Amino acid sequence: MARNDFDPATVEPDGRPPAQARLFDPAAGGPWRGSLEGIALGGAVTVLAYGTDTPGAGPRLHVHPYDETFIVTQGRARFFVGETTIDAAAGEVVLGPAGVPHRFENLGPGRLQTIDIHHSPRWIQTDLD
């Protein structure tokens, strides 16, 4: 079914050119790791690639002043978002709301790979542990 959510004639291009940048090097081998701030592309979001082959490993507890959306692309993760624990597998998406401390870890077995979308043109973070 075709989508028709808005009238394209009502949106004026803002003059930004198309842009391209590298998030990670796929030829490097191992889990993807990298970050690309939205300002590098003239965009409104920052994108991170996070991967680990080690069960139990993951980012430390931290918080952002904006939402963060996690896309699990490979493996299984346990997310700790405030007082809530969420187990997610490849193909699932988790939201970390602005101002809510969060972290996640690889549940294994095997590689965990995520794409993390920071709803900000800059990566702004405070580590809590």
Share of the chain above pLDDT 70, in %: 100
Q: Is residue 73 part of a domain?
A: yes
Mean pLDDT of 50-67: 98
Q: Is residue 15 part of a domain?
A: no
Q: Is residue 59 part of a domain?
A: yes
For 61-77, b/e burial (b = at least 16 CB within 10 A) is: eebbebbbebbbbbbbb
**pLDDT tier, 1 (very low <50, low <70, confident <90, very high otherwise):** confident
Domain membership of residue 60 as a residue range = 45-80+113-129
Q: Is residue 122 part of a domain?
A: yes
Mean pLDDT of 49-53: 98
Q: Is residue 96 part of a domain?
A: no
Q: Is residue 108 part of a domain?
A: no
Q: How many domains does the chain have?
A: 1
Query: Within a 13 Å sphere around the CA of 18, how many CA atoms are in the beta-carbon half?
Result: 1
pLDDT tens digits, one per residue of 71-125: 999 999 999 999 999 999 999 999 999 999 999 999 999 999 999 999 999 999 9
Task: Give CA–CA dist 64/120, Å, rounded.
Answer: 10
Q: Is residue 65 part of a domain?
A: yes
Share of the chain above pLDDT 90, in %: 97
